[in-house]
């Protein structure tokens, strides 16, 4: 079983409009709702790859009830979300069909009380006993201390469970100090952390801050990984047009599945990059176009960096 943690889960609402006109009334042609949050997206892709995935985090209020109901209907992900008194947040995406551009509105999330946090930690420690790996993903809801990913990383390491950390800002900086097995920032998050816009230099700097391995998402240019044994960069054979939302989450699922299957790093990278590109062709985050994935998997270029790390 692979465990994913989404402390700030969301009900993702997507509005499609023919053409988005600011400061005006826009007629919506289509509305969709689905469970959201990085860890839930990762869990969906993992199940599509044939792995058992359990999702935990927080859910509350009417929005949380709707999220859990939809999760039960649409996926085989096991729901281990912990109830809270506050309402789960909503994220609203407005898609301009004339350009393909998306405008995103993200609510902050429910305030988590100390008692609710204690209940989550009890659930988390119990779930770790059956986990092959754990992914700690996304932003933090109000009321949760900024160092919680460091705490969760240490708990997983104590249980002997490999940890992948996918967050940003101060939670990323503090989480790295707890020495996760793998950190997966994107290029902007890595630059904000290290002050360097050169991905290889920045990834090495992030490793020195505590992560055993750093895998940096480079958008359409693929992914770079720096380990104790070497560095590799993978790129898709061509640029894929579409919506990049959730592409990083699919890459996380590729890395996690490769970890539990004990694939060599070039094969893990190729899977992560192919999944990420195939997600750009899918209609929503947490999904990937299987035909595109199968086509790209054998065509991803993986290059080893000769410079010692």
Determine the Cα–Cα distance for residues 309 and 306; give it in Å rounded to an integer: 9
Q: Residue 79 catalytic?
A: no
Determine the Cα–Cα distance for residues 194 and 176; give it in Å rounded to an integer: 12
Q: Burial code of 119-135, b = ≥16 C-beta within 10 A, e = fewer? A: bbeeebeebbeebebbb
Spot the catalytic one: 12, 166, 181, 249. Answer: 249
Query: Tokens 């993702």 — which residue?
Result: 12
Q: 147-152: long-range contacts at Cβ-Cβ below 8 A with a sequence spacing of 24 or more?
A: 147/171, 147/174, 147/175, 148/7, 149/174, 149/175, 149/178, 150/174, 150/175, 150/177, 150/178, 151/178, 152/5, 152/124
Look at residue 86 and give its three-state secondary structure: coil
Determine the Cα–Cα distance for residues 239 and 242; give it in Å rounded to an integer: 10
Q: Which residues are catalytic?
A: 249
């Amino acid at each position: 079983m692979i465990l994913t943690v989404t402390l700030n889960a969301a009900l993702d609402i997507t509005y499609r409009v023919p053409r988005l006109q600011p400061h005006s009334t826009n007629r919506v042609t289509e509305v969709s709702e689905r469970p959201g949050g990085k860890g839930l997206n990762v869990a969906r892709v993992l199940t599509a790859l044939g792995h058992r995935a359990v999702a935990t985090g927080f859910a509350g209020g009417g929005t949380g009830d709707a999220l859990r109901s939809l999760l039960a209907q649409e996926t085989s992900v096991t729901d281990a979300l912990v109830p809270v008194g506050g309402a789960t947040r909503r994220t609203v995406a407005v898609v301009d069909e004339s350009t393909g551009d998306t405008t995103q509105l993200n609510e902050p999330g429910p305030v988590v009380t100390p008692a609710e946090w204690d209940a989550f930690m009890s659930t988390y420690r119990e779930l770790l006993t059956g986990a092959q790996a754990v992914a700690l993903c996304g932003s933090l809801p109000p009321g949760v201390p900024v160092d919680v990913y460091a705490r969760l990383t240490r708990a997983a390491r104590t249980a002997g469970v490999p940890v992948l950390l996918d967050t940003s800002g101060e939670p990323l900086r503090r989480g790295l100090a707890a020495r996760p097995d793998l950190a997966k920032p994107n290029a902007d998050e890595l630059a904000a952390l290290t002050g360097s816009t050169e991905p290889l230099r920045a990834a090495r700097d992030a490793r020195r801050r505590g992560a055993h391995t750093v895998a940096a998402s480079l958008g359409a240019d693929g992914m770079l990984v720096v380990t104790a044994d070497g560095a590799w960069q993978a790129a898709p054979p061509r640029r894929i047009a579409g919506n990049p939302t959730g592409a990083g989450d699919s890459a996380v699922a590729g890395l996690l599945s490769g970890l539990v299957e004990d694939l060599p790093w070039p094969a893990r990278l190729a899977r992560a990059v192919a999944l990420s590109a195939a997600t750009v062709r899918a209609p929503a985050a947490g999904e990937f176009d299987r035909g595109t994935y199968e086509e790209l998997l054998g065509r991803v270029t993986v290059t080893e960096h000769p410079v010692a790390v």
